[in-house]
Amino acid sequence: MKLVLAPMEGLIDAPMRDLLGRIGGYDYAVCEFIRVTEQRLPRRTLLRLCPELASNGHTASGLAVIPQLLGSHPASMARTARQLAELGAAGIDLNFGCPSKTVNRKDGGAILLREPERIHAIVAAVRQAVPADIPVSAKIRLGYEDTALALDNAHAVVQGGAQGLTVHARTKVDGYHAPARWEWLARIRQAVDLPIIANGDIRSVADYWRCREISGCEDIMIGRAAVGCPDLARQIRQSQQGGEQGVMAWPVLAMLVVQMGDELKSAMLERHLASRLKQWLVLLRQFYPEAQQCFERCRPLRLYSEMRPCLIQGSFE
């Protein structure tokens, strides 16, 4: 019953993984994608993109982190996977789900779901490139325009030799719109001989149990709700053990936002930090009405130093 923290470019980075690891509940996290082209990536770039590699593949809070590659050239993907293995990566995940126009135009992410044979070639090349004790996994969507190739793509991943498969239960065209099609996860699970990690729209403990029931998948990955409801994995763990679900109170969470701001202050420009924390408030407000009020007060402010008193005020609401 694995709970996996999703990769989310621009939303879940190393400091956020560390924070969510401190709150607890997740078994491991997948890092935001590393874009692979034919040009070799220097070691320092790989360490910048997945900083946890420098600390034995774990956040300071002890959460294991696995790097993810996005690209379409099998030999380059294999070479980068080997570099990551040499840096101590505990696994390699491959991204076949990114819907970004820019990424798809450059032949990466979800566009490959139109060609299962290419997915097979990439998985097989990466599998061969890294030692057998390093698991290779892939993350797919149900398809590009439609679900016609969903099973073919899942088979391509398995036959390529992967040990893990995460399925985001939407097509590329579905984008991120609800509802995720959990019933498709059951079809894929029945068709392949590999445990599937279910992903898409798991936003509460009730969703977790409903997704398990519909999909039959024991393992799940949480994306946006991990940021909007930072103790969701912990709540799910408590519910798995039949315990009472303690939900994190808003004042505690507001102080975590301040703590994150204070920690990042020296590492980024104040205005970048302000927009980043606002982005977090946007997700938090889906779960906490207090975050909406806090967001409204922070919205016109450009600098973190201006926002900080509003966040502190928020922690008393």
Ligand X SMILES: Cc1cc2nc3c(=O)[nH]c(=O)nc-3n(C[C@H](O)[C@H](O)[C@H](O)COP(=O)(O)O)c2cc1C
Kindly list the residues in this chain that would bind ligand X in the complex (CB under 6 A).
6-11, 32-33, 68, 95, 97, 139, 168, 176, 199-202, 222-225
Buried b or exposed e, range 189-225, using 16+ CB within 10 angstroms:
beebebebbbbbbbbbbebbeebbebbebebbbbbbb
Element (H, E) at 123: helix 116-129
Q: How far is the CB of 191 from ligand X (least distance, A)?
A: 20
Task: Return the number of the residue (59 or 95) whose C-beta is nearest ligand X.
Answer: 95
Query: How far apart, in whole angstroms, are the C-alpha atoms of residue 224 and residue 151?
Result: 26
* Spatial contact of 285 and 291, defined as CB atoms under 8 Å apart: yes
Residues known to be catalytic: 98
Cβ proximity to ligand X, 240 vs 286, nearer residue: 286
Using the minimum distance from each CB to ligand X, give the nearer residue, 30 or 260. 30
- Nearest residue to ligand X by CB is 223
Calculated CA dihedral for residues 185, 26, 97, 137, nearest 10 degrees: -80
The nearer residue to ligand X, 156 or 310, going by C-beta atoms, is 156
Q: Is the peptide bond before 135 cis (omega within 30 degrees of 0)?
A: no
Minimum Å gap between C-beta 266 and ligand X is 25
Closest contact distance (angstroms) between CB of 167 and ligand X is 9
Secondary structure element (H or E) that encloses residue 159, with its range: helix 150-159
Enter the DSSP assignment of 15: H
Q: In terms of CB distance, is 65 or 202 closer to ligand X?
A: 202
Distance CA 105, CA 272 (A): 28
Residue 199 Cβ, how far from ligand X at the closest point, in Å?
5
Q: How far is the CB of 251 from ligand X (least distance, A)?
A: 26
